[in-house]
Amino acid sequence: MATLTAGVTAPAFELVDQNGELVTLAGFKGRKLLIYFYPKANTPGCTIQSCAVSEALPDLDAAGVAAVGVSPDTPSAQKKFDDKYTLGFPLLCDTEHVMAEAYGVWGEKSMYGKTHMGIVRSAFLVDEKGMIQDVWYKVSPKDTVPNVQKAIQE
């Protein structure tokens, strides 16, 4: 699994969100963008992470940072997740894990002694010009927002 580092161009993406709207990296040009990847909507860690991002939206917005969450879930699963927790930002549907592979977060995981391929929970801060500013692979759900807040203060 190839990983990204700060200072490289963020891989472009075009995915639908929970509402069936097309979302692209180019659509955020001129703003910073938090992109975080999570394994599955409506699971405990993903809920903690997504709700923390949702609660931080006013502060992120004030700092010029937009947010998107990405998982391999379908639009209907993402919509149920958004409706249940009123998250208020795009949840991108990477059902073919094309974006996950481009960002180096699609990898082998192990659970109960069995290995499978899936999302390695990770987050990226993309700057106004589309460059990766910060990278957090294998991030804890609780650490996503504090990491981003620290990065935008520096």
Residue 124 CA to residue 134 CA, distance in Å, equals 6
Q: Out of 46, 67, 68, 93, which one is annotated catalytic?
A: 46
40 and 93 in contact (C-beta within 8 Å)?
no
4 and 132 in contact (C-beta within 8 Å)?
yes
93 is annotated as an active-site residue: no
For the annotated catalytic residues, the residue numbers are 46
